[in-house]
Structure 1
């Protein structure tokens, strides 16, 4: 007796609106979207976790937290600006520079989507560096605290990407493949992933939410609260940067590359091509330096005695 093919199975996309609610005022439509809510809740959860960590002086070098609660409140504003400005400019420069060069006013339309993690990360680094310099705060310990708080926000952001039906993965025959809505998502461009005439794809947003978010958050919390990682400045930062780089590199094997890199002779969207089917995507290319930098911070921290 022949067993049924796994190809016959796929999951329908959940019927969830990208907007939580919307209101009309004076002819203008204002909507609260899941993506914006993910940013807000993620920042608040990160702030709550960092607030708890600085209240536990025993976790830090010399049993002294790097900043006060009042300074943490001020830092929150700096971080929001760094995330939004850096994330938007990163998307513009890394992914669609030619388009935005001819449409510069659309750079400001962040409500239309288009944020890059690597750009947001650089924005946070710059904002934190300026803040620490102004207040005389140890930079590495401050960076450790922010690294501890970051994965929860990443997890919520990726879940919001899934709800929005964006950044989906490559076509798949796996039984957990999802049939995403929209003509672009339904263009399998091949026999792989076709189920009853529809295109099933990897829910790569959820893979990222699990690896970059939940798993990385648990590792960092365990390292900080149970293994004394915060007592070694740079260790938690290195674990986060390197861990994110590894997670993103892995997920890129399942995530569909950005459309501008995909051509008929380059269906995987490789930016650095080794063969016709082997290469690196833009996400992987940007993640490799993060792995190396993260490993460098870990080695630096471990070669110095815990304080």
Structure 2
């Protein structure tokens, strides 16, 4: 008995890390890491987008990139929040409608945020008569910053933990309501959605002619994110009541299927859309 206890792995307790949701407190105002992750993700994505459009054949000018930051931010916030309300906890929010506006309490859906950003891009490209797919390709290359930082913020907040496991790197999240060691699925997602996705899209943009095949980059991004999210749902603790839907999938997996199908279609058909393009008129150099 003593030998069994002595050989049991000592799992890291999340509370022992001393992490706080609040990055900085100024009087009654708390600046949270999650908010900083959003801000940093947008700024880094914007900086990288300027690098991309400075290359020959860009589908947008600097002024379009500037507009995109504003409208995409609105799409992320409103789309992400409404997606969470409708996809994950509709009963609760319909019974407590005022809590929908409490963004500081958390609750954002990445799938809803994607829809919001796509609507923003559609609005910008339609108004300026630009290519929707080529615009999406460049935006897709910029989003891994926000995705990766967002998942790191989830870890700092001690939320969206994984399922119970006995792997050596498991972490105990007391906020889960149990002392079971769990997968640090937030870190898995940060690695796949942030680092891996960025690396693949970086190689395709800078080392191949992918940017001249409309839909190839955004389709690849959809496939990588979709495959990552679908598979990680096996180790990520789904929202209560949404673990096993009647068709055998979690809500996260269900919402990812359309993304996988659209991504696959865009990748397969991208070669047929190859174009020879000229840079969009207007200043696009990086300041």
- Report if aligned partners of 1:10, 1:177 keep a CA contact under 8 Å in 2: yes
Q: Residues 13-162 of structure 1: matches in 2 within 5 Å?
A: 13=14, 14-24=17-27, 29-57=28-56, 64-162=57-155
Say if 1:105 and 1:304 are closer, same or farther in 2 by CA, change over 3 A.
same
Alignment correspondent of 2:204: 223
What does 1:194-233 align with in structure 2 at a 5 Å threshold? 198-233=179-214
Secondary structure class of the residue paired with 2:143? helix
Which whole-Å CA distance do the structure 2 matches of 1:305 and 1:186 have between them? 53
Equivalenced residue count is 272
Contact persistence 1:86–1:123 (CA under 8 A): yes
> Which residue in the other structure is 1:292 paired with?
261
CA deviations 1:1-47 (Å, max 9, x no partner) are x89997523123221111001112xxxx2111110000000111111
Q: CA deviation at 1:137?
A: 1.4
User: Which secondary structure state, in structure 1, belongs to the residue aligned with residue 174 of structure 2?
Assistant: coil
- Equivalences for 1:261-280 in 2 at 5 Å? 261=242, 269-273=243-247, 279-280=248-249
Aligned to 2:12: 11
CA contact (8 A) 2:219 2:262 kept: yes
In 2, are the aligned partners of 1:11 and 1:175 still within 8 Å (CA)? no
Shift >3 Å, 4+ stretches: 2-7, 303-307
Q: Mark the CA change 1:23 to 1:241 in structure 2 (over 3 Å): closer, same or farther.
A: same
Q: Secondary structure at the match of 1:45?
A: helix
CA deviation after TM superposition for structure 1 residue 216, in Å:
0.8
Q: Normalized against structure 1, the TM-score is what?
A: 0.85
Superposed CA deviations along residues 183-242 of structure 1, whole A, max 9, x for unmatched, are xx142xxxxxxxxxx321100000110111110110001101101211111000100111
User: Partner of 2:241: helix, strand, or coil?
Assistant: helix
- State the Cα distance separating 1:102 from its structure 2 match: 1.1
